Structure 1
Amino acid sequence: MTEVAFHFNAPDRLGYACRLLRKAYLKGARVLVLVEEGERAALDAALWTRGAGEFVPHSGPGDPTLVQVRSPIHLACEASDTHGASVLVNLRAQMPPGHERFDRVIEIVTADEVDRNQARERWKRYKMLGFEPQRHDLQLSPQD
């Protein structure tokens, strides 16, 4: 069954996502990141400019198929294709459709009240579907 984890109190959604994706890349994971269209370009730029030696190879929907197939991280607005990923990182307000196709789903939630309320609704929905989400409070744990 898919493991679902909520990472609460991310101080900066995109910054935290970059750190998380870098860790996943270094461990050899393949990850699909669902992001709102308006945030996709910002996340793409952040992954390119994190710092010396911290580039995370990734692709997006506009990249050539060869690049998408070889990229360990794929940024998308829809989960129509898993791109061979076993991990799904959700940065969207909605529950990701097809989440059960992944071994692991990570929901990144900021301290913003609107974001938290949307996360609560996703949490309830996962529970209704029989999943037991894990809670990781980033204010209580190290973020490296």
Structure 2
Amino acid sequence: MTEVAFHFNAPDKQAYVCRYARKALRHGARLVVVGSQPVLAALSPKLWAVSPTDFLAHAFASDGGQLLAASGIVLAQRLDNLPHHDVLVNLGSEVPAGYEQFAKVVEIVSATDEMDRQEARARWKSYAAQGVAIVRHDLKLRG
């Protein structure tokens, strides 16, 4: 069964995705980040410039072919025809259709955006109603 983890109180969701992705890749996981086109378009340059000496190579699901198959990070608007199913990072407002094909789903929740927090509560309820066990990580406690 898919493991779902909510990471609450992210001061900057996209910066947190970059840190999470770097750590996951170092541990051998491959990621799919799902979200709207504007969200993914804003995330892409941040992945290319994680730090002055580091970047996270990635592809858009629409790139297709060998590039997509070779990418450890795939940015997608939908979960169709993806090359791997290790970790799904959801940046969308709803539970993504097809999340069950992934070993792990990570939901990142803003520390300051009340609408994002309300949408996360609805996603939590949806996962719980489906009988999914949920792990909670409070990023504020990590300091």
TM bracket (short chain): over 0.9
Q: Displacement of 1:6 after TM fit?
A: 0.2
Query: Bigger CA drift: 62-71 or 126-135?
Result: 62-71
- Which consecutive aligned stretches of 4+ in structure 1 deviate over 6 angstroms post-superposition? none
Q: Which runs of 5+ in 2 are unaligned?
A: none
Aligned to 1:63: 63
**Distance in 2 between the 1:64 and 1:128 partners?**
35
Do the aligned partners of 2:85 and 2:101 also contact (CA within 8 Å) in 1?
no
Q: Displacement of 1:25 after TM fit?
A: 1.2
Aligned to 2:128: 127
In the TM superposition, what whole-angstrom CA distance separates every residue of 1:17-62 from its partner, at most 9, and x where no partner exists?
0000111111111111102111111111000011133211211034
Do the aligned partners of 1:25 and 1:56 also contact (CA within 8 Å) in 2?
no
**Distance in 1 between the 2:121 and 2:74 partners?**
26
**Distance in 1 between the 2:29 and 2:92 partners?**
21
Amino acid of the residue matched to residue 130 of structure 1? G
Aligned to 1:138: 139
**Distance in 1 between the 2:19 and 2:75 partners?**
15
Number of aligned residue pairs: 142
Do the aligned partners of 1:94 and 1:118 also contact (CA within 8 Å) in 2?
yes
**Distance in 1 between the 2:81 and 2:134 partners?**
24
Q: Write out aligned runs for 1:1-144 (5 A).
A: 1-111=1-111, 112-142=113-143
Q: Displacement of 1:123 after TM fit?
A: 0.3
Q: Which runs of 5+ in 1 are unaligned?
A: none
**TM value normalised by structure 1:** 0.93
Do the aligned partners of 1:32 and 1:83 also contact (CA within 8 Å) in 2?
no
Do the aligned partners of 2:61 and 2:82 also contact (CA within 8 Å) in 1?
no
**Distance in 1 between the 2:109 and 2:123 partners?**
11
In the TM superposition, what whole-angstrom CA distance separates every residue of 1:61-88 from its partner, at most 9, and x where no partner exists?
3425111000011001111123212110
Amino acid of the residue matched to residue 101 of structure 1? Q
Root-mean-square deviation (CA, aligned residues, Å) is 1.2
Amino acid of the residue matched to residue 139 of structure 1? K
